[in-house]
Amino acid sequence: MKKITILGSTGSIGTQTLEIIASHPDLFEVEALAAGANVQLLVDQARRHRPRMVSLATKEAAEQAAPLLPAGTKVLYGEQSLIELAADPSSDYIVTAMVGSRGLRSTLAAIEAGKTIGLANKETLVTAGHLVMKRASERGVAILPVDSEHSAIFQCLNGERHSTVKKLVITASGGSFRDRTRAELEGVTVQQALSHPNWSMGAKITIDSATMVNKGLEVIEAHWLFDMPYDQIDVIIHPESIIHSYVEFADYSIIAQLGWPDMRVPIQYALTYPDRLPTPTKPFHLAELGKLHFREMDYERFPCLRMAFECGRIGGSLPTVFNAANEVAVARFLDGQIAFLDIERTIEAVLSRHKPEQLPELETIEEIDRWARSEAACCI
C-alpha cells in the first residue's frame, strides 16, 4: 500500500487526487495533507482520510482547525511545515499540488528523503530545474508528471529510445480568449478570463491558460523532465483538448495520448504507474467527436509563450524571473489592480531589468524570486 502525502490538498489537483485515493482504498493511504487557508475543506478531508499530520499556512488557521480534527491528527503551520511533511518518513509518495514556486523547498526535501514524487507543481522545475533534476538523479528518485500534457508525453515515450525522438508537441486549448484578437482583449474582465471552455481549474492556472503563460511553463518543465532541447519542443492549439500531447519520432511516426479533458486520468496514472486501473470518468469514443481541430501557434498573439521559450533557451535565472513576475501580475489582475494585457507587460518589463545568472544555487534563486516579485508589484 502506498502511503501518500499531498501538498496542496484543497486545490483542484489535491481534491481530485483524494477522489482517486478514495476509489482505491486497498491501494492508498493518506499520511499527511497540507493546505493554505481553506480550514473547513482541510478539516473535512482529514475527517474522511484520517492523516497523521496536516498543515495550514498560518498559526491562526491551524488553531482554528485543531479542535475540529480527528483525534491523533497533528496540526502544523507555516512554510517550514511543508518541508517537515515532505521529509517525514511515514510516507513514501508525495503529490506536489501547490500552485506557484512555494513547492520548491518541499520538493527538494522529498527528494532528499528518497520519495517518489507526483509532480503537479510545474513552477518547481521552471524556477530550479537544474537543481531538482540533478538531485533526483543523484538520489535515484522518480519524478512522475501529473500535468495532463506531460503525462501524455511520458506515456508516449514508454518503451522508446530518447535518441529516436524528433519532437515533443504540447497541445494547448487556447484558453478563455482563444478566438479573440489582441484588440478584443482590451478591457476583458476577470470573470471572462476565468471561463475556461474545457477544463475546471483553479483561478491562477486558468488565467495562465488565457495568457498562454501556462503553456510556456509547461515547455520549460518538459525541457527538464524529458531532457529535450527547446528546438525539439513545439506547441500547437487544439481547441477540443482531446489529444493531450504527442511525440514525433525520427521516422515521422507520431504517438499521441487521447482522452476526455479529465485530470483524474493523469493523476491516477502517476499514482499507479506502471499499472493502469479503471478511473471514475466516462469512456472515450472517437465517433462521438467526429473531428478534431488544430491551429499553428501564433507567437505574436500570445507573446507570453514567446517570452517563455526565450527565457528557457537563455536559461539560468530568467525562468525564475518569468514565473515570479507572472505570479504577481496574475494576483494583481485577479484583485482588479491591473488590466489583463498588463500581465504580459509586467512580465516583459521585469525580464528587461534582469541580468541572468547561470546555474544559480537555491539561495540565489530565492533572492532573485523576491526581487522579481518586488519589481512586478509596482512596475505598472
Q: Please report, in tens digits, the pLDDT of each residue of the chain (380 residues total).
A: 999 999 999 999 999 999 999 999 999 999 999 999 999 999 999 999 999 999 999 999 999 999 999 999 999 999 999 999 999 999 999 999 987 777 899 999 999 999 999 999 888 999 999 999 999 999 999 999 999 999 999 999 999 999 999 999 999 999 889 999 999 999 999 999 998 777 667 788 899 999 999 999 999 999 999 999 999 999 999 999 999 999 999 999 999 999 999 999 999 999 999 999 998 888 988 898 889 999 999 999 999 999 999 999 999 999 999 999 999 999 999 999 999 999 999 999 999 999 999 999 999 999 999 999 999 999 87
Q: Decide if 330 contacts 351 (C-beta within 8 A).
A: no
Q: Decide if 320 contacts 369 (C-beta within 8 A).
A: yes
Residue 290: half-sphere exposure toward Cβ, Cα within 13 Å: 0
pLDDT at res. 279? 87
Task: Indicate the Cα dihedral angle 112, 117, 120, 123, nearest 10°.
Answer: 20
pLDDT at res. 26? 95
pLDDT at res. 30? 98
Going by the DSSP 8-state scheme, the letter that residue 275 receives in this structure is -
Give the Cα separation of 14 and 296 in Å (integer).
33
Mention every residue, 6+ apart, whose C-beta is less than 8 A from residue 160: 247, 249, 255
Please give the model's pTM, rounded to 2 decimal places.
0.94
pLDDT at res. 196? 75
Taken as a whole, the chain contains a residue count of: 380
pLDDT at res. 247? 98
Cα–Cα nearest to 178, from 225, 131, 239: 239
Give the Cα separation of 202 and 206 in Å (integer).
6
Mention every residue, 6+ apart, whose C-beta is less than 8 A from residue 127: 101, 104, 319, 320, 323, 324, 365, 369
Give the Cα separation of 329 and 210 in Å (integer).
13
pLDDT at res. 203? 87
Query: Which run of H or of E encompasses 322?
Result: helix 318-334
| Distance, CA of 68 to chain centre | 30
pLDDT at res. 88? 96
Cα–Cα nearest to 32, from 49, 52, 13, 57: 52
Name the residue with cell 488544430: 294
Name the residue with cell 509586467: 346
Name the residue with cell 478511473: 279
Cα–Cα nearest to 350, from 367, 315, 326: 326
The three-state DSSP-derived secondary structure of 175-201 is CCCCCCCCHHHCCCCHHHHCCCCCCCC
Q: Decide if 70 contacts 50 (C-beta within 8 A).
A: yes
What pairs with residue 54 in β-bridges?
Answer: 33, 75
